[in-house]
Chain A
Amino acid sequence: MLKGVYNWIDERLDITPMWRDVADHEVPEHVNPAHHFSAFVYCFGGLTFFITVIQILSGMFLTMYFVPDIINAYKSVDYLQHKVAFGGIVRGMHHWGASLVIVMMFLHTLRVFFTGSYKAPREMNWVVGMLIFFIMLGLGFTGYLLPWDNKAYFATKVGIQIAESVPYIGVYIKELMQGGEIVGAETLTRFFAIHVFFLPGALLALLAAHFFMIRKQGISGPL
């Protein structure tokens, strides 16, 4: 039955080559921890992606309750955390996952750096990876404001002050982030939009490029 469906689609769209490009490849011995335990350092990239998927899923569920508005943001997070069934777990996963994804990405970056895997012909993949790193930091910064408690508010205020000290364009960056004279209602909606739409969009595009390049070029060889 399933094979019939697959064949029916394959006849029309010829999807088998696509499937091969995505999934049909081999894992060499030097990156396989089953053969060399020290090869676990090659797992950090995959774990980063795993946590990123958790972040996307838990974030999707959080937006079912979160209200990006200065009166209700805090109340909605409070409600989600304390009243909604499993709400505390979903928010906990998103909160701790944000730290974990930074840790995993940091370790992945160090692995690539110290094994010299960024060298020719993989320069572009390194640059894309660094851009992903910056996007992740941006996601962390914008997400920190959303619960709208004192910690969130004052950290964002300090962050924007730091951005303001950039010569010439600082004031414009500040205005773009704040959406006005103060950290307030506009800032919260902006940070919400950036956190939920702009940065994840950019992140997915960059991840696609990252994975396309690794499939095209293969993993770097043993040292």
Chain B
Amino acid sequence: MAHGHKSNEKVVFVGDSRVRKRSGAPNTVPPDYSSYPGKSEAFIPNFLLKEWMVGVVVLVGFLVLTIAEPAPLGYPADPTNAAFIPMPDWYFLFLYQFLKYPYVAGDYIVLGTVGIPGVAFGALLLAPFLDTGKERRFYRRPVTTALMVLSLISLFYLTKVSWDHYQHELAKTNTIPEHHLREEKAREAAMSGKGGEEQQPVASIPIVDEDDPAMEILKARCIACHNPDLKGNESMKAPALRGVGDTHTKEELVEIVTNGKGGGAMPSFKEMLSAEEIDQVTTWLAKQKKAE
């Protein structure tokens, strides 16, 4: 037992809590635990030992999770990557989704960023001063409980809508999240015996004949997917155009540009470009060979 009432200490404490007993003072603190029904137990060592055992089980589960599911890492930040779908961490999704609704965005954005979240979080912060009744049981405090339950429902709903929307966007743009793509590539590389080394030869390949008029057509049609620097975009499965002459002949390039490739991943440009334009572009692309 930690300490009882028959203590001969000079300072007498009220049961568990270290508040001094004052005779005649109003009861500002809750009753000490010995007046609660049932058995109490010393915090150290009895209770803490049990708690630690549960903690160890949690810790093992946690370690299993970290080994089974490595922390995600995508590709290095590239501010010019216009195709990347921004995604905050999951616990901010509700706010992210909330700000997409028209009545809290655009002209009313202040309502969305300060107004409604301010009132909601302000009320939460000041809950003890708003709900001042003595009743503690939630089913006897219908207004407080209802407000909290409503907030919880909207939190879960907004998070779910936001996540579904993200999945939908990924499917629509045919995008694999970068950290999955990267992990897959690393695994493939490890399987084929390359030891998982990062290979980025593309960056060092120069663009051949950059002032050619074909560049204007490329700027209008191709760079949206293949990146303004023509280094390609991994997440859209658009390959680099630098050095493309090494892997494809002009005939192959004409075929790809005219009819598309990969089930629409590379669209067909039959309608958008004239035959001469396609010829001009593919002639230029065929010239894109790595300088030896």
Q: Does the CB pair B134–A92 fall under 8 Å?
A: no
CB distance from A169 to the nearest CB of B (A): 10
Q: Which residue of B lies closest to A118 (CB)?
A: B128
Q: A30-B38, A92-B70, A148-B77 are in contact. Are A217 and B43 (CB under 8 A)?
A: no
* Chain B positions 98-115 with a Cβ under 8 Å from a chain A Cβ: 99, 109-110, 112-114
Query: With A27-B40, A28-B36, A93-B66 as given contacts, are A218 and B86 in contact (CB-CB < 8 Å)?
Result: no
Which among B15-23, B206-214, B245-253, B255-263 touches the partner chain?
B15-23
Mark interface residues in A42-53 (1 if CB within 8 Å of B CB, else 0).
010011001000
Bound state CA distance, A25 and B74, in angstroms? 49
Q: B91 contacts A140, CB within 8 Å? A: yes
Is B6 part of the binding interface, using a Cβ–Cβ cutoff of 8 Å?
no
**A150, B40: Cα distance in complex, Å:** 53
Cβ–Cβ contact A167 & B62, under 8 A: no
Q: Does B267 contact A (CB under 8 A)?
A: no
Report if A179 contacts B (CB, 8 A): no
Contact A150:B84 (CB < 8 A) given known A89-B67, A158-B96: yes
Quote the shortest CB–CB distance from B255 to chain A (angstroms): 32
Tell whether, in the assembled complex, residue A47 and residue B58 are in contact, meaning their CB atoms are under 8 Å apart: yes
Per-residue CB contact flags for chain B residues 70-95 toward chain A (1 = under 8 Å, else 0) read 11111111110100111111111001
Residues of A within 8 A of B (CB): 20-21, 23-30, 32, 34-35, 43, 46-47, 50, 54, 70, 74, 77-78, 81-82, 88-89, 91-100, 102, 110, 113-123, 126-127, 130-131, 134, 137, 140-141, 144, 147-155, 157-159, 162-163, 165-167, 182-183, 215-218, 220-223
Q: Complex formed: what's the CA distance from A151 to B89 in Å?
A: 9
| Bound-state Cα–Cα, A152 to B81, Å | 13
Expressed in whole angstroms, the Cα–Cα distance for A120 and B89 within the complex equals 35
Q: Given the known A-B contacts A25-B2, A150-B178, A155-B86, are A92 and B71 also in contact in the complex, defined by CB atoms under 8 Å?
A: yes
- 0 or 1 for each of B112-140: is its CB under 8 Å from A? (1 = yes): 11100000010011111101111111100
Contact A96 B40 (CB under 8 A): no
| The one of B36, B81, B90 that contacts A30, using a Cβ cutoff of 8 Å | B36
Q: How far is the CB of B123 from chain A (nearest CB, A)?
A: 11
Q: How far is the CA of A130 from the CA of B41 in the complex (A)?
A: 29
| Chain B residue nearest in CB terms to A162 | B113
- Please judge, given known A-B contacts A102-B91, A166-B113, A223-B137, whether A77 and B30 are in contact too, CB under 8 Å: no
Max chain B CB contacts within 10 Å: which of A29, A78, A97, A149?
A149
Knowing A147-B73, A151-B178, A215-B18 touch, does A119 contact B124 (C-beta < 8 A)?
A: no
How many angstroms between the C-alpha atoms of A92 and B3 in the bound complex? 43
Q: How far is the CB of B231 from chain A (nearest CB, A)?
A: 14
Chain A nearest CB: distance from B118 CB in Å?
10
Residue among A81, A92, A118 facing the most chain B CB atoms (10 A cut-off):
A92
A82 to chain B, nearest CB (A): 7
Of chain B, the residue at the smallest CB distance from A145 is B77
Do A119 and B131 touch across chains, with their CB atoms under 8 A apart? yes
Instruction: Answer whether A155 and B40 are a contact pair too, CB < 8 Å, given A100-B62, A114-B145.
Output: no
| Stretch from B44-52, B222-230, B236-244 forming part of the interface with A | B44-52
